Structure 1
Amino acid sequence: MNFFVVLQQMLALFAMIFIGFYAYKVHWVTQDTSDRLSKLLVNILNPALLINGVLDKTVVAKKDLLLENLFYIFLYFVLLIGLSFPIAKVLRVGKMENRYQLMLIFSNVGFMGIPVLRSIFGNGCVIYITFYILIYNILIYTLGIAFAQRSLPKEERKNAVKEMINPGTVSAVFAILIFVFHPNIPQGAVTFFDYVGNAVIPFSMIIIGISIAQMPWKEIFGHVKLYIFSAIKLLVIPILCAILLRPLKRDTMLFVIFILMLAMPSGSIIAMIVREYGGKTEEEDICSKGVLMTTLFSIITIPIVVLFL
């Protein structure tokens, strides 16, 4: 895969991030605007993109690759969950261990993963990413919340399984059903999902830029252990996996999706999970800082990882 092609794509995404950053700094948008745009993105635009990925008639997804894709997804989560324990111990972050584990396991497979991989492979990769998102949503609202609440007394812990029924999960299920059964979708609906889904890339990047603009730079870059964590997450793990697991590669696109999913920054949903299900302000802040730092660094680290594919 061409390093410079991917770098150009990442720089284009970075330019969109800068638009959000600049818009917040000159007061074109506010915190409230960002929150509302995030709801629009999570509940409408991203679900539309998932469905659009299986409606594109020019894309012919290979059903015989689904099993291989599911194997990579299983390996993806087993690796990250398994590595999260020793890495958190090695970093010696004390009571923050659970938070670092969350940041390692739950990457931004949606808002960053889809734009990056779609810019490389086109709509053909979206159906395979959809399975990552479906499993991700199930795990974030089960294992993720269990991690977030681990330090709380049992009587204070919440049952959040019902939260798995959300637009992201529902749209992922619908996308898979459409892919399997090929129902006859009216052209008007196809056009709708195409237009709305294509808005995800600029919207998601602009919202990330707004988030970065809201936090003082000293607070983002003031934690040495976050630098070490970012290097491990964004470079060490994906590069080692790209080298060591290369003998498993059959379909190039699925292998690249797997490796680049490992190279994605931490997902913004982590801070929301920590805030909602038992996090203290300090713990929520470390997650927010980790998300922002890994997102910024990923602009450079993802092209570097591509060199090893």
Structure 2
Amino acid sequence: MSVVVSSVVILFILIFVGFYIGRRGIIRQECTPDLSNFILKVTMPVTVFVSMIQQENLSLAGKIWQIMFMTLVLHLVSFLIGLGVIRALRIPKQEQGIWLFNCMFTNNGFMGFPLGLSIWGNDGLFLMAVANVVSNFLIFSMGLKFLTKYYPVKEKINLKRMVVNNLNLAVVIGFVFYLAQIHLPEIPMKLLNYLSDITAGLSMIVVGLSLSRMQIRQVFSNKKIFLLAAVRLLALPCICAAVLKWLPISADSELVSILILMSALPAASSQTILTEQYGTNTQDASRAILVTTLFCVVTIPFVMSLAL
């Protein structure tokens, strides 16, 4: 448990560093989207690829179908819970999409991958990357529908974007290398390792830079955002832990731990990209990201200790 706590604290400190340098203008806030693209399209896919090709334990291949099935089940359970929550709290129609999106999806890329790598090493990152393929598909289908519903936009689901992106390609190519046990020469491997090592720290700094653009007073003016944070960070992970015990498949403790961690992560940062692109509820999306990211440093260790 101390590994979880120390990993969360270190990553949270890096978020604060990003917040500080953003507020002080050491890095211009206009650079944040470029750094995000660099991580999402270059360093994070490299990190995933490296974690997969360094695997020599072929027994992990048998866990792939398990984690993909279990990830799909957890997303659907979270969706049903989200429907119940928005009806119970009578959330206005134009805010319902944000609530459903945040109930279903977490920040697996920016926070989950670095945290999983810190706790379980390449094994954890390997399995989280596979689970993220399912999440990406749902984000750009169901998630996009949630965020654009009740808004005057002609939303089109881009099948290519759902399936063909750098992260998914890294998983597929890395899986081929993993099964064939192909090893790269020393120089290309060192180059990839250098790029891979950038991801964890820079990801958290970028989260902090994104938070530095927000006005804190405006964020906390909406009291319902704390209810959303409680659902996202506490209620859903505990329910997901209970669901995992009732699934009709057996899974080892590491796999269960990874899935519980994924469900305990803060709000997915991808929602701001989508809401900005389609001109919908960007303000509430930003609020959800800020509040859940701030409180996750406490809730993640709590949930992991309680569930496990």
The aligned counterpart of 2:116 is 117
CA distance in 1, matches of 2:119, 2:303: 14
Specify whether residues 151 and 8 from structure 1 end up closer, same or farther in structure 2 by C-alpha distance, changes over 3 A only.
same
Contact kept in structure 2, 1:69 and 1:128, CA below 8 Å: yes
106-115 or 49-58, larger mean C-alpha shift: 49-58
- 62, 65, 73: which one pairs with 2:63? 65
- 1:102 offset after TM fit, Å? 1.1
The aligned counterpart of 2:199 is 200
CA distance in 1, matches of 2:131, 2:272: 20
- 1:6 offset after TM fit, Å? 1.6
Trace 1:60-209 onto structure 2 (pairs within 5 A): 61-95=59-93, 96-152=95-151, 156-164=154-162, 165-209=164-208
Q: Secondary structure of 1:112's partner?
A: helix
84-93 or 208-217, larger mean C-alpha shift: 84-93
One-letter code aligned to 1:284 = T
Trace 1:236-255 onto structure 2 (pairs within 5 A): 236-243=235-242, 245-246=244-245, 250-255=251-256
Specify whether residues 30 and 118 from structure 1 end up closer, same or farther in structure 2 by C-alpha distance, changes over 3 A only.
same
The aligned counterpart of 1:24 is 22
Unaligned runs of 5+ in 1: none
One-letter code aligned to 2:266 = P
The aligned counterpart of 1:274 is 275
Unaligned runs of 5+ in 2: none
Matched, 1:7 2:5: yes
One-letter code aligned to 1:110 = G
CA distance in 2, matches of 1:179, 1:195: 20
Instruction: Provide Cα deviations, 1:41-99, integer angstroms capped at 9, x if missing partner.
Output: 11101111110111225665522222322232122222122222112222322121011
Contact kept in structure 1, 2:234 and 2:303, CA below 8 Å: yes
222-231 or 173-182, larger mean C-alpha shift: 173-182
TM-score normalised by the chain length of structure 1:
0.91
One-letter code aligned to 2:35 = L
- 1:217 offset after TM fit, Å? 1.3
CA distance in 2, matches of 1:16, 1:181: 37
CA distance in 2, matches of 1:158, 1:199: 34
- 1:295 offset after TM fit, Å? 1.0
TM-score normalised by the chain length of structure 2:
0.91
CA distance in 1, matches of 2:273, 2:174: 26
Identical positions, percent: 26
55-64 or 270-279, larger mean C-alpha shift: 55-64
Specify whether residues 118 and 184 from structure 1 end up closer, same or farther in structure 2 by C-alpha distance, changes over 3 A only.
closer
96-105 or 170-179, larger mean C-alpha shift: 170-179
Q: Secondary structure of 1:122's partner?
A: helix
One-letter code aligned to 1:251 = D
Q: Secondary structure of 1:111's partner?
A: helix
Q: Secondary structure of 2:108's partner?
A: coil
CA distance in 2, matches of 1:221, 1:152: 24
CA distance in 2, matches of 1:275, 1:61: 42
Instruction: Provide Cα deviations, 1:254-308, integer angstroms capped at 9, x if missing partner.
Output: 00011111101111111111222351xxx11101110111111111100001112
Aligned length: 303
Contact kept in structure 1, 2:233 and 2:266, CA below 8 Å: yes
176-185 or 214-223, larger mean C-alpha shift: 176-185
CA distance in 2, matches of 1:253, 1:181: 24
Contact kept in structure 1, 2:19 and 2:208, CA below 8 Å: yes
One-letter code aligned to 1:53 = S
Q: Secondary structure of 1:210's partner?
A: helix
Specify whether residues 10 and 195 from structure 1 end up closer, same or farther in structure 2 by C-alpha distance, changes over 3 A only.
same
77-86 or 263-272, larger mean C-alpha shift: 77-86
CA distance in 2, matches of 1:87, 1:260: 22
Matched, 1:258 2:259: yes
CA distance in 1, matches of 2:170, 2:60: 20
Contact kept in structure 1, 2:55 and 2:123, CA below 8 Å: no
66-75 or 289-298, larger mean C-alpha shift: 66-75
105-114 or 61-70, larger mean C-alpha shift: 61-70
Q: State the Cα RMSD in Å.
A: 1.9
